[in-house]
Amino acid sequence: MKKLIVFDWNGTLLSDTQACFEADNTVIKYFGGQPINLQTYKDTIIIPAIDFYSQHGCDRKEMEENIQRVGEVFHSFYEPRAAKCRTRRGVQKLLTWLKYHSVISIILSNHTITGINNQLVRLGINDYISEVLANASSNYSFIGRNKKEKLEIFVNKRGYKPKDILIIGDSPEETEIGKTLGIETVAITGGYYSEARLKTAKPDHLISNMSELQEIILRQN
């Protein structure tokens, strides 16, 4: 059995795809781009977000010069809606099972530490999460990516071996991180990214429901 499960947050544990989609469209409109539908969103969403906004008609230079405003526009729309989002079906049951079996659960995210911690308390699952590896600034995900570095530092500091770890997320990024660090990967559909994009990343496992994860963890040595 694995010793450490690394969960992405947005679209993986938190069912907030619609809220983020609408918030990103709000940013696109604000900076002069062309709003998109949900399927196009799933087919094109990417981190850093400034690359995504640029794809849809926003002026990259203007956004780079006003990155604080980008964050304000996004979060002023997103946060009130995220505060009403629930976890994915099966998340609380899975986290309870992991804790019972002394498997450590952590979150690795492009979101903010404060935002995630507030949501964990609201959702009543903070006691199941041992660590939140995320950003101190709400603007960082608009201009960069640092999840791999955060996880690498964490596992080295705690002495985990790659074979002890499983990483799960709704984007190709988690699969890329896992492959780079030699960690087994799980991609879950129904989040921010289309199933086709998840398959292209070639995760070790592709699931559609959190209930499927328990079996994967159980059959690992």
Which tens digit of pLDDT belongs to each residue from 205-221? Answer: 999 999 999 999 987 55
The pLDDT value given to residue 145 = 62
Cα–Cα distance for residue pair 50/53, rounded to 1 Å: 5
Residues 6+ apart with CB under 8 A from 121: none
* 141: pLDDT strictly greater than 60: no
Q: Where are the domains of the chain?
A: 4-15+87-218, 17-82
The pLDDT value given to residue 219 = 77
Handedness of CA 142, 85, 21, 198 (dihedral sign): positive
Q: Work out whether strand 165-169 and strand 184-188 pair parallel, antiparallel, or are unpaired.
A: parallel
Instruction: Express as a percent the part of the chain with pLDDT over 70.
Output: 95
Q: Do residues 207 and 189 touch, judged by C-beta distance below 8 A? A: yes
**CA separation (Å) from 15 to 192, 204, 215?**
10, 23, 22
Q: Do residues 12 and 169 touch, judged by C-beta distance below 8 A? A: yes
Q: How confident is the model at residue 79 (pLDDT cuts 50, 70, 90)?
A: very high
Q: How confident is the model at residue 85 (pLDDT cuts 50, 70, 90)?
A: very high
Question: Degrees (nearest 5) of the Cα angle 143, 9, 117?
Answer: 95
Whole-prediction pTM value?
0.94
For 4-15+87-218, CATH gives: 3.40.50.1000
Residue range 150-200, pLDDT digits in tens: 999 999 999 999 999 999 999 999 999 999 999 999 999 999 999 999 999
What is the 3 state secondary structure string of 59-122? Answer: CHHHHHHCHHHHHHHHHHHHHHHHCCCCECCCHHHHHHHHHHCCCEEEEEEEEEHHHHHHHHHH
Residue with tokens 């629930």: 86
The pLDDT value given to residue 136 = 83
Which of helix, strand or coil describes residue 178?
helix
Q: What is the number of alpha carbons within 13 Å of residue 146 lying toward its C-beta?
A: 16
